[in-house]
Amino acid sequence: MAITINNSNTLSLLNILNRIAAQQENTLTQLSTGSRINRGSDDPAGLIALRSLDTELIAVDASIVSNQRTDAILNVADSALTEVASLLNEIQNLAQSSANEAGLSASEVAANQAQIDTAIDALDRIIRTTSFNGKKLLDGSYGINVNGVTAADITNVRVFSRDTDATSNAISVEISSAAQRAAVTGFGTTSATAQTTISIQGKLGTALITVSIGENLSAVTARINNATSTTGVVASQTGATAAIGLRSQDFGSTALVRVSVLSGDTTNFNAGNDTGVDAGITVNGQTVGVDGLDVNFNSNGLSIQFSISTAFNASAAGTTSTFTVDSSGGATFQLGTDSTTRVTIGIDGLYSQQLGSAVLGRLSSLRSGGTNSLLNNPGQASGIATKAAEQVAQTQGRIGGFQKFQVRTALNTQNATKAGLEAARSVIGDVDYATATAELNRQQVLLQMSISLLGLANQQSSQVLSLLR
């Protein structure tokens, strides 16, 4: 090999030294940022995948926050309804105890009435003030609007959910057969010839009635009606001396009248039993579930409940009544990351004047001076409170079902999706510290070696010069 003084070796070593220094700079950047891809040149395809995953993660994070807020909103509503249910239980207990007129003094009944007034005031206050972030939850602000309801045919319309994208839903209600009360006719035909003990059983429970010898039928009728809040059975006569007829307060297959003569006059007082019949109803041509006069309809995201009136129930088979559920109103929540996951639920107002029914009466009628106050109609008051409690329980159950099966399942799914996206993002974008540290050590060794060799190359030039001395 010839001895020369050109610097080709030096230039080659410098190139190698610069390349190793650049690689070391990139490795140091990765270790300091924790990211394997810090610029497009690091991994172009990986960068594209990483940006796509980041976009998905942003959407999922936003959806998780949104569903957490939805869950919090529904928790507020649920807690308020729990208090309302407790108040209704108190009202029901007061009404039932006050129906026992013989066992209570006038002052006790007045005290019970005062408590009912206070409880109803508290109920209305809870409904009026329950809110989240300034928006009322239970006062009907989130009710789904209906139009064209014929009040003489359809009452108590409650829309629990609707198709968010539908502009409107036309509802056609057709009656095919009438609902019936349970009824026993000719129960008592004349005054008892002996002291008689009678068991009256209805949907709500059983009461024992004792009839004295010679007690007239009007007194027996009054005694049975005094126990209506316990049994759900109403006694009536067409005249002062007419036979006593018994019927259930409610319509439908759950309505029951069962009377048994346990002892005494079994000639003039007769045993008997009967159950009611649910109405036959179709909605938009679809056979639906009916409980007495209460109708439940579910189809294509629309969930609705309403009651048919006693007048409509008495209509001829084939009679129809129509109304429309429109696209306004309700509380709309987005459960996922796009608009196709939007769901609209309805929360109707639950004020005392809205609870109860047109047939039994409204809860507000239990106030002092009302039609069904403890002084005017204590037997009916208990039934109204029971109906109101059922309505509140149903609303709370609907909210709870939406919260459990829609909101929380969506939240769980999104958390799982986020974990998967984070894992995929980590595989693509995160630096492997063990590998990067090993690479940094390798680069450091190469860098030191290159510097040493560069020194040797410089010495070669110096040695050539020494020949001239």
Cα separations in angstroms, 170 against 156, 157, 302, 322, 366: 17, 14, 11, 7, 36
- Nearest-angstrom CA–CA distance, 380 and 372: 6
Residues with Cβ within 8 Å of residue 140, at least 6 apart in sequence? 347, 348, 349, 351, 354
Tell whether the model's pLDDT for residue 42 goes beyond 60: yes
Only one residue has tokens 């126990």, namely 227
Tell whether the model's pLDDT for residue 5 goes beyond 60: no
| The predicted structure's pLDDT at residue 469 | 59
Q: Tell me the angle at which helices 106-129 and 44-98 cross, rounded to the nearest 10 degrees.
A: 160
Q: Is residue 280 part of a domain?
A: no
Q: Is residue 259 part of a domain?
A: yes
Q: Residues of the chain with pLDDT > 90: what percent?
A: 58
Q: For 372-386, what is the mean pLDDT?
A: 86
Tell whether the model's pLDDT for residue 429 goes beyond 60: yes
Tokens matching residue 159: 């829309």
| Helix, strand, or coil (residue 144) | strand
Residue 464 confidence class, pLDDT cut points 50, 70, 90: low
- Using the Cα atoms of residue 460, residue 461, residue 464 and residue 469 in order, give the sign of their dihedral: negative
Q: Is residue 448 part of a domain?
A: no
Tell whether the model's pLDDT for residue 378 goes beyond 90: no
Enclosing H/E stretch for 432: none
Tell whether the model's pLDDT for residue 199 goes beyond 50: yes
* Total number of domains in the chain: 1
Q: Is residue 462 part of a domain?
A: no
One-letter amino acid at 54 equals: D
Q: Which residue has the higher pLDDT, 361 or 21?
A: 361
- Nearest-angstrom CA–CA distance, 194 and 160: 55
Tokens matching residue 446: 């190469």
Measured CA angle at 102 (ends 99, 107), to 5 deg: 80
Radius of gyration (Cα) for the chain, nearest Å? 40
Q: For 172-201, what is the mean pLDDT?
A: 93
Each residue of 262-290: pLDDT tens digit? 999 988 898 999 999 999 999 999 999 99
Each residue of 65-122: pLDDT tens digit? 999 999 999 999 999 999 999 999 999 999 888 876 666 788 888 999 999 999 999 9
Q: Is residue 208 part of a domain?
A: yes
| The predicted structure's pLDDT at residue 409 | 96
Tokens matching residue 177: 């057969």
| The predicted structure's pLDDT at residue 135 | 93
Check if the beta carbon of residue 323 is closer than 8 Å to that of residue 149: yes
- Nearest-angstrom CA–CA distance, 89 and 94: 9
Q: Which residue has the higher pLDDT, 118 or 37?
A: 118
Residue 127 confidence class, pLDDT cut points 50, 70, 90: very high
Residue 173 pairs in a beta bridge with 283, 321
Each residue of 304-353: pLDDT tens digit? 999 999 999 999 999 999 999 988 889 999 999 988 899 999 999 999 99
Tokens matching residue 311: 């007048």
Tell whether the model's pLDDT for residue 297 goes beyond 90: yes
Tell whether the model's pLDDT for residue 152 goes beyond 70: yes
Tell whether the model's pLDDT for residue 174 goes beyond 70: yes
Check if the beta carbon of residue 36 is closer than 8 Å to that of residue 431: yes
Question: In degrees rounded to 5, what are phi and psi of residue 72?
Answer: -65, -40
Question: In degrees rounded to 5, what are phi and psi of residue 301?
Answer: 85, -5
| The predicted structure's pLDDT at residue 41 | 78
Q: For 238-252, what is the mean pLDDT?
A: 85
Measured CA angle at 328 (ends 323, 330), to 5 deg: 100
Measured CA angle at 35 (ends 30, 36), to 5 deg: 70
Q: Is residue 246 part of a domain?
A: yes
| The predicted structure's pLDDT at residue 282 | 96
Check if the beta carbon of residue 309 is closer than 8 Å to that of residue 179: no
| The predicted structure's pLDDT at residue 118 | 97
- Nearest-angstrom CA–CA distance, 300 and 298: 7
Q: Is residue 245 part of a domain?
A: yes
Across all residues in the chain, what is the average pLDDT? Answer: 89
Tell whether the model's pLDDT for residue 455 goes beyond 80: no
| The predicted structure's pLDDT at residue 260 | 94
Residues with Cβ within 8 Å of residue 380, at least 6 apart in sequence? 228, 229, 360, 361, 372
| The predicted structure's pLDDT at residue 1 | 47
Q: Looking at 266-377, list the stretches that DSSP marks H as alpha helix, in order from N- to C-terminal side.
A: 310-313
- Nearest-angstrom CA–CA distance, 249 and 257: 10
- Nearest-angstrom CA–CA distance, 366 and 109: 13
Q: Is residue 318 part of a domain?
A: no
User: What is the span of the domain harbouring residue 247?
Assistant: 181-275
Q: What CATH code is carried by the domain that includes residue 185?
A: 3.30.70
Residue 383 confidence class, pLDDT cut points 50, 70, 90: confident
Question: In degrees rounded to 5, what are phi and psi of residue 169?
Answer: -130, 115
Tell whether the model's pLDDT for residue 4 goes beyond 60: no
| The predicted structure's pLDDT at residue 278 | 96
Q: Residues of the chain with pLDDT > 70: what percent?
A: 95
Residue 467 confidence class, pLDDT cut points 50, 70, 90: low
| The predicted structure's pLDDT at residue 445 | 84
